[in-house]
Structure 1
């Protein structure tokens, strides 16, 4: 992973440095009569100069509190303006100057770039612009300078915000393309494994079939009972091996056969079946199911089916809550059951392979998702799957 630029790793130090630099710059500009400094400064002028330096120092928090910076600099500018007129406590050397410090230009940048509520930011900037421009004391030069100071920052903020959004969109598109490439490569590997398994099936079944036929022939032609019984046992074992091999290869069927597993629309049927066999089950769905792509829907269906099956096997008498949250970025499925009220049947608990959850976890990871299963604090059991809402290769067999 590329190292982040130095200015991102030391943002606090950078902001403090900028605040100090603008404070010194505004102090210097004030002392050379570029703003409100009088020809014969008194105690009040020096006090206000210190207050101005502190107000410029608020730029250090412009990222985390941009409206506060606007308020501090706006309040200082308004105070100086009132002390000049109508109070008359300060008499600037040049009446045509802008009373606002140069820091107001950087402060005006913050609300539109760092503040989330754009409406509030625009209202604050409008009030800030009025204070800096002094429209109640109409003069072309200070009004023009004030407008430029409060307009350049927001325009730059809008530009950089649009650029940031565009970069994020491009990064997201690149990540989606990379994920699609990963899925296509994984699909190719799966198809190759299935092809090799089918070829192995053809070879092995051919040889085992010959063994079965020969054992059957030996059973017919053998003269003693022991030989006939051994031949029958061999024939029966061969037939069983053929059946098991056919079942295994059937799992690795050709993807072109299609996957007929229901999607999220089948959740109601699973819950209905669970209720029909005596397990109280509640289904809670939030969001729009259409946000989930077909591949994700099939994986979520398998997770729910496996979870409800495990409840029937291991937690008789438990209550089940199924919660499905559909979002634009991800689908979250949570299946939680309370502790069982009776002991599970040994015949049922021993009927499975024990690989249901691991296989589902592999399917979830194939689409960059996560699956967690384990006991819950109340003594029950929870299965939680978090899957991306969109998978580019919609026809991927999972």
Structure 2
């Protein structure tokens, strides 16, 4: 509706345009008839003048060529047939030039309508049937004449051919417009998805990095509170521990489900595993690192995924397994990388404030990351009361970085 109101004037006022066209064709056909180019006799009588008025009315039926195109064809066909029968065999009218086509020129425009405006297959079949009969009347097929047949056929064929061309062009423009609009919508959707993935990546980084560091800070502050000799130090350590727990609590609301690891990921490689284990030991959770095989067998993205697995598993031990010992085992070979982080049965109760700071998305995020590199993850309790996080990764995942 907006397109109709905002489009060109002739599209906004189709009835006015059709009325003007009908009047022009009526006047033109009347003038052409009066100069003897069609059926007009040398000595016009009352019948000729009546037929001239009927022809003008038939031409004015073009006003409804959009809404009732077959009616316009029927009206002009009926008039042409009536004139033909009055000339022969009735001999009530004698044209000045019997070799002319006796149909008005309005028939050319009338033949355009049924094909262009009858857009369904059923309407098209009916339109071609009616136009076939219309052509027989205009070309006087029962009185064969090369000139009349040729001119009559051209007059009734040009309109449908133009209609088919313009209809095909309109369909093509509509298809291209729809394709462009669909491409624009898809571009917006891709941009939205990219933004969502970036938000997910940032949330994952906050969970993987900030949570790990702050939880270590909380554990160290708690240890300092217990071992400090003076009250001021213990009070400061408690305030630091409480602030860390509050920071983790607030951070939990900002962490979302991890989605994809970008190519420009800068997570440390397995070279940083020793530092992770040392930090865990310094925070009061004894940890041991066992590496078997050559680290260079793991491609960069697999190495970073390995680092993430160990970091997340150690973070969970800090929160939930107070007093447990941890063993980190990483095996490298040509077939893949196997990672296992096992902790013994905890000897103490976990810090409830520290436990509440978890988002509950760590293992789910790890599983999603591991599936991206076609690996597998298992996380669950051990028979001795401990817990194990184990993963199997392919040794090589092709990326632009590894190719470089």
TM superposition score normalised by structure 1 = 0.56
Q: 1:147 aligns with which of 153, 163, 171?
A: 153
Mapped to 1, the partners of 2:208 and 2:261 lie a distance apart of 18
Shift of 1:12: 2.0
Q: 1:158 aligns with which of 155, 164, 183?
A: 164
Aligned to 2:176: 170
Aligned to 2:14: 11
Cα separation, partners in 2 of 1:252 and 1:240, compared to 1, 3 Å: farther
Mapped to 1, the partners of 2:69 and 2:239 lie a distance apart of 85
Mapped to 1, the partners of 2:48 and 2:216 lie a distance apart of 109
The reply on whether 1:57 has 2:77 as its aligned counterpart is: no
Q: 2:81 aligns with which of 78, 82, 90?
A: 78
Tell me the alpha carbon deviations over residues 235-272 of structure 1, each in whole angstroms, 9 at most, x when there is no partner: 6896686477457524243277xxxxxxxxxxxxxxxx
Aligned to 1:91: 94
| Larger displacement relative to structure 2 (160-169 or 45-54) | 160-169
| Larger displacement relative to structure 2 (172-181 or 73-82) | 172-181
SS in 2 for 1:251: coil
Q: RMSD across aligned C-alpha pairs, in angstroms?
A: 3.4
Mapped to 2, the partners of 1:107 and 1:88 lie a distance apart of 28
Q: 2:126 aligns with which of 106, 117, 120?
A: 120
Q: Do 1:84 and 1:90's aligned partners in 2 also have CA atoms closer than 8 Å?
A: yes
Gaps of 5+ in 1: 257-398
Equivalent positions of 1:311-322 (< 5 A) are none
The reply on whether 1:21 has 2:27 as its aligned counterpart is: no
Mapped to 2, the partners of 1:105 and 1:255 lie a distance apart of 67
SS in 1 for 2:255: helix
Q: 2:37 aligns with which of 34, 38, 41?
A: 34
Q: Do 1:191 and 1:255's aligned partners in 2 also have CA atoms closer than 8 Å?
A: no
| Larger displacement relative to structure 2 (189-198 or 51-60) | 189-198
Shift of 1:88: 2.2
Equivalent positions of 1:271-350 (< 5 A) are none
Mapped to 1, the partners of 2:261 and 2:138 lie a distance apart of 69
Shift of 1:107: 0.7
Mapped to 2, the partners of 1:6 and 1:196 lie a distance apart of 54
Tell me the alpha carbon deviations over residues 40-62 of structure 1, each in whole angstroms, 9 at most, x when there is no partner: 22222111111111111111221
Mapped to 2, the partners of 1:244 and 1:148 lie a distance apart of 82
Q: 2:201 aligns with which of 175, 195, 201?
A: 195
Equivalent positions of 1:229-308 (< 5 A) are 242=248, 245=251, 249-254=255-260
Q: Do 2:219 and 2:241's aligned partners in 1 also have CA atoms closer than 8 Å?
A: yes
TM superposition score normalised by structure 2 = 0.55
Q: 2:111 aligns with which of 93, 108, 112?
A: 108
Shift of 1:136: 1.4
Shift of 1:159: 1.4
Shift of 1:171: 1.8
Mapped to 2, the partners of 1:47 and 1:255 lie a distance apart of 87
